[in-house]
Amino acid sequence: MVRKLTLRQVGGSIGATLPKDMTERLHLEVGDRVLAVETAEGILLTPFDPDVEEGLALAAKTAKKFRNALRELAK
Residue 7's pLDDT is what?
A: 93
64: amino acid identity, one letter? K
pLDDT tens digits for range 19-49:
999 999 989 999 998 888 899 999 998 887 7
Q: Over the Cα atoms of the chain, what is R_g?
A: 17
CB atoms within 10 A of CB 12: 5
Is the overall model pTM greater than 0.85, yes or no?
no
Please give the domain boundaries of the chain with CATH numbers for all domains: 7-74 (2.10.260.10)
- Provide the 10 A C-beta neighbour count for residue 18: 14
User: What's the pLDDT score for residue 41?
Assistant: 92
